[in-house]
Structure 1
């Protein structure tokens, strides 16, 4: 039968390895999300440069001010639609990355919680007589800490959902404003 110190040492080593795996998984997923955002921004910048050049050429080819303003109004709608599409794509990437990170964290917390409870149960079998009160107190503290973490996780998840909802609402409002602005410009 192993001692409490040996059990603690093994649990500490396992916890360190689990945290290292969590860190690796977290950074991998975070970098994948950043990479997607960089690709999105590079694609948007490249498309913007190409479209800017084409737009400038069309505007310089206008034969009179009326044609210039008509072309300007006609080109505003696609740009607004592209800005809205970019916002939606950006929000989608950040939302999916956040969901992946939350899933990794929740799985790790559940596993750590399971291991701690297992360790406490195992260690409590080897405590000397009369120390049962201390073990019960420790289990109570552990339960309260877990309850606190679960509440924090719920609050964090709600905050992220609120932010995501606000971003989606902002993109929708931008889309509506762009549509109204384009329609207004086209009428002039």
Structure 2
């Protein structure tokens, strides 16, 4: 019985120490952008971004191979630099920002492919629908910021989803609006 108690205490101690080593990294919004691209009339690419977003990374390994990502964006902050188009995108014809105010992504795995290249898998909730997605990520850094002296790292995100999978503008033909939405992000994170 004593051996079982010692073993249980050791396992709990190891679990606690591993969890306590995790570091939180917060997004530097001044040096970050999360957005999208879509083909218009099969001839041009229209892109935009979300002005209001949050993102954090938790990782205990220096190469981020055990990282978890938590990203969200406000649908009402969509920006394509054309006010009339932005208003239409927020409407029930597209994103229905009033009914579905937030996009969220919560990672389930982050695996190193080679060098600085990773595959990020997680659950994307958009337009009231949650689906698993996989995103390519390239990491730059970490380095020590010359002014703040904090550890900082850069992450470039790219992935694709189908708008019909999320019930977005399902009545619109692909010849008018591309079926594939490109997800894009360039973000700097600083260790807290």
Instruction: Specify which structure has the bigger relative contact order, considering alpha-carbon pairs within 8 angstroms and separated by 6 or more residues.
Output: 1
Larger Cα-atom Rg: 1
What TM-score results when the alignment is normalised by the length of structure 1? 0.26
Please identify which structure carries the higher strand content. 2
Please identify which structure carries the higher helix content. 1
What TM-score results when the alignment is normalised by the length of structure 2? 0.26
